[in-house]
């Protein structure tokens, strides 16, 4: 926040948490959904997604995954979090294991084996 003499205070975003959005009329509206801080770590056998989401209960976290995307959102609570994470490689969504402790969500997926190249006969 900055304020110059004789001017209205200016409030800007800090980090990855948008606090306000500007409406069509120029007013600032408070946003109640945050984006968690996320790290994606990759090993030879697995992909780990680590999200920092303090202040919520694990029962309020909903996770949905495909082979290339993990959707994280909270159903209830304050603050609310929502984020779509694009995974760096294809994973097996059925292999997902998730833990949540002290505000840190960790989701681990097994990598899918890379497809071998196959020749195709034309009939």
| 18-66 per-position pLDDT tens digit | 555 566 676 666 566 788 899 999 998 999 999 999 888 889 999 999 9
In a domain, 28, yes or no: no
In a domain, 15, yes or no: no
| 99-115 per-position pLDDT tens digit | 999 999 999 999 987 65
Contact criterion met (CB below 8 Å) for 3 and 10: yes
For Cα atoms 76, 40, 105, give the angle at the middle one, nearest 5 degrees: 30
In a domain, 83, yes or no: yes
Contact criterion met (CB below 8 Å) for 66 and 87: no
Q: Are strands 80-86 and 33-34 parallel, antiparallel or unpaired?
A: parallel
Task: Supply the CATH number for residue 64's domain.
Answer: 2.60.40.790
- Calculate the dihedral angle through the C-alpha atoms of 11, 16, 20, 26, rounding to the nearest 10 degrees: 80
pTM of the model: 0.68
In a domain, 45, yes or no: yes
Residue 43's domain comprises 33-111
The SS3 assignment for 71 reads strand
Gap between the Cα atoms of 22 and 96, Å rounded: 38
In a domain, 58, yes or no: yes
The SS3 assignment for 58 reads helix
The SS3 assignment for 75 reads coil
In a domain, 14, yes or no: no
In this predicted structure, what is the pLDDT of residue 76?
79
In a domain, 49, yes or no: yes
Number of domains in the chain: 1
In a domain, 13, yes or no: no
């Amino acid at each position: 926040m900055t304020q110059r003499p004789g001017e209205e205070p200016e409030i800007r975003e800090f980090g990855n948490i948008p606090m306000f959005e500007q409406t069509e009329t120029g007013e600032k509206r408070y946003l109640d959904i945050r984006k968690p801080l996320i790290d994606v770590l990759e090993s030879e056998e697995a992909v780990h997604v680590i999200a920092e989401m303090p202040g919520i209960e694990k029962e309020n976290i909903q996770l949905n995954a495909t082979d290339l995307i993990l959707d994280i959102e909270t159903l209830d609570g304050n603050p609310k979090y929502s984020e779509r994470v694009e995974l760096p490689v294809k994973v097996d969504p059925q292999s997902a294991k998730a833990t949540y402790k002290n505000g840190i969500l960790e989701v681990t997926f097994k990598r899918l084996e890379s497809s071998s190249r196959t020749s195709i006969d034309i009939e």
